[in-house]
């Protein structure tokens, strides 16, 4: 297909961005796994490091002062590498109980991807899931009409988010460059930092994402004022992390890509 835009590719996150509205699968799995060792996680704590590789997510969670102190109270020792490995191994087992049930594409994503492809834009993806987890999600999502050109997982690179290596490998696999002609879209601070560190345009999506952490039903039950306060808090967090743009929902991404494309055509450098 003849290239119609200056933007060469868009790289999406998976849970909370393309599927699993509210990013529920990893949260429920983490809460269950920590609960099995008598450590209660709140929803907020479970989401604190969302977007990172799951092993690093668990490590960071154990290092939180309130979690470390609870661990010492219950297990009479400081959590160490063996505990990280044990919790992660259990997480790898538990998460598969949730992945297929939470692989439904978020509203608007399939039509957005179709629109981008019609313009000759390649569709890549990165995730905090391992390859086996991501393959499960991809297979389930494909049966519901969601297809990407490339997916890279943390176990394929030296380090996951917020490092740029997954985005870099996606660009290489898709044969697209330079980095500032690529747009990264995700729903966590780790996603924003991943895109920035890769030298790409970084876009944060609020509704459906882990930072907001609400299902469609929960959003609909909020008053306009309550929803504004919650979404504005996420917006400011993304902007503080360096996001070039922040959108309320994924169906606004097409308009943002058009704005970025226009800026590129005018030889602007972007907000880096």
Q: Which tens digit of pLDDT belongs to each residue from 179-229? A: 999 999 999 999 999 999 999 999 999 999 999 999 999 999 999 999 999
Considering the domain architecture, whether residues 173 and 88 belong to the same structural domain is answered as no
Q: Is pLDDT above 70 for 2?
A: no
145 falls within a domain:
yes
249 falls within a domain:
yes
Structure tokens at 227: 């929803």
Q: Is 15 annotated as a binding residue?
A: yes
Identify which of 192, 248, 246 has the alpha carbon closest to the alpha carbon of residue 219: 248
Q: Annotated catalytic residue: which of 13, 20, 244, 261? A: 13
Q: Is pLDDT above 50 for 100?
A: yes
1 falls within a domain:
no
Catalytic annotation present for 55: no
Q: What is the pTM of this model?
A: 0.90
* Chain mean pLDDT for the chain: 95
Q: Is 187 annotated as a binding residue?
A: yes
Catalytic annotation present for 230: no
Strand order in the sheet with 122-126: 150-152, 122-126, 9-12, 182-186, 201-205, 245-247
Q: Annotated catalytic residue: which of 20, 54, 207, 261? A: 54
Do 51 and 153 meet the contact criterion of CB atoms below 8 Å apart?
A: no
Domain extent, residue 75, equals 25-97
Q: What is the pLDDT of residues 239-264, one digit of tens each?
A: 999 999 999 999 999 999 999 999 99
Structure tokens at 169: 């490998």
Q: Is pLDDT above 80 for 268?
A: no
Q: Is pLDDT above 80 for 4?
A: no
Domains of the chain: total: 2
Q: Is the peptide bond before 178 cis (omega within 30 degrees of 0)?
A: yes
Q: Is 103 annotated as a binding residue?
A: no
202 falls within a domain:
yes
Considering the domain architecture, whether residues 107 and 91 belong to the same structural domain is answered as no
């Amino acid at each position: 297909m003849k290239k119609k835009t200056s933007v060469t590719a868009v790289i999406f996150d998976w849970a909370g961005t393309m599927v699993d509205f509210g990013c529920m699968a990893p949260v429920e799995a983490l809460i269950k796994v920590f609960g099995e060792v008598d450590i209660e996680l709140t929803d907020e704590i479970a989401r604190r490091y969302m977007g990172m590789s799951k092993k690093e997510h668990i490590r960071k969670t154990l290092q939180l002062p309130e979690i470390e102190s609870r661990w010492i109270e219950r297990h009479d020792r400081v959590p160490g590498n063996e505990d990280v490995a044990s919790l992660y191994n259990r997480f790898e087992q538990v998460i598969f109980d949730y992945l297929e049930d939470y692989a439904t594409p978020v509203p608007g994503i399939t039509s957005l991807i179709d629109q981008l492809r019609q313009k000759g834009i390649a569709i890549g993806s990165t995730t905090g899931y391992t390859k086996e987890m991501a393959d499960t999600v991809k297979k389930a999502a494909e049966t519901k009409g969601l297809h990407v050109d490339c997916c890279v997982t943390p176990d394929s690179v030296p380090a996951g988010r917020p490092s740029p290596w997954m985005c870099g490998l996606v660009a290489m696999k898709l044969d697209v460059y330079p980095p500032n002609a690529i747009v990264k879209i995700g729903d966590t601070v780790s996603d924003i930092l991943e895109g920035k560190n890769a030298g790409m345009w970084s876009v944060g999506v609020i509704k459906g994402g882990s930072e907001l952490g609400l299902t469609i039903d929960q959003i609909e039950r909020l008053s306009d004022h309550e929803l504004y306060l919650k979404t504005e808090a996420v917006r400011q967090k993304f902007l503080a992390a360096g996001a070039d743009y922040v959108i309320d929902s994924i169906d606004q991404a097409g308009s943002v890509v058009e704005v970025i494309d226009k800026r590129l055509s005018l030889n602007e450098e972007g907000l880096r």
